Amino acid sequence: MPLSSLGGSTRPAIMPVMEEALKTSYRPIRSFVLRQGRITVAQARALDEYLPRWQIDSRTPWQDPWKGVRPLLLEIGFGNGEHLAALATHRPDWGCIGAEVHAPGVGALLLRLMETNTDNVRIVHGDVVTWLNTLPDALLHCIIIQFPDPWPKKRQQKRRMIQAEFALLLSRLLQPGGALQLATDWAHYAEQMRAVLNATPGLENVDPDGGYVPPPDNRILTRFERRGQRLGHPVFDLCYRRGP
């Protein structure tokens, strides 16, 4: 099944990014903060009763839940699971893996999977970076990162997920021809992503000018994005292919 149909850049370039965005840091990436949040009774029950069925244990060596017969897709930070559940429904022959640290979001996704009787999704509930480092090369056909925490304050930006070291890891995990799709509604973070990923060996920007792309066909309009639109935030989409 093809991935998405992607065209050229439709958005103008924005401010140049500082060279620091391209520097590799060997400090482990900690791109999230575990917030208490509110979890509903139904979500908590879903975690207790349903998570064992769909969970990938990130502490054990990789074993493909689908025995190597399906192309594999990974969404990092799936939020409430709205996009991942829809994607799994539209690609029933794919293996769709979602990673999320926040329990309410995992519970919400589990409830969606139960409602739709979807069985081609598996969940990593925890710090995805540690788990990704244990995976074999060229495992994934597609990686999706949508609206990661922008850490807008200057002193916080070292926490941003898309940094040079992490970009190299993503490149390693993609199969040749595989796609890396990203979206953010923070202009400065979009430019940092573009600078870092354009400079990452093995990744090729789908836009011939090295810029942004139209939203991919597989990306649905989520509640988070609709909120951003109401606030007047433009969304910047990026797509990269793994070279041969």
Cβ atoms of residues 164 and 24 within 8 Å: yes
Which whole-number Å values give the CA distances from 234 to 6, 22, 48, 188, 224, in the listed order? 18, 24, 38, 12, 13
- Calpha distance 204→206 (Å, rounded): 6
Structure tokens at 24: 């590799």
The amino acid at 28: P
Closest CA to 70 of 132, 109, 146, 121: 121
DSSP per residue, 59-108: TS----TTTT-S-EEEEES-TTSHHHHHHHHH-TTSEEEEEE--HHHHHH
149 is catalytic: yes
- Calpha distance 174→139 (Å, rounded): 6
Q: Which one of 93, 119, 149, 185 is the catalytic residue?
A: 149
Catalytic site residues? 149
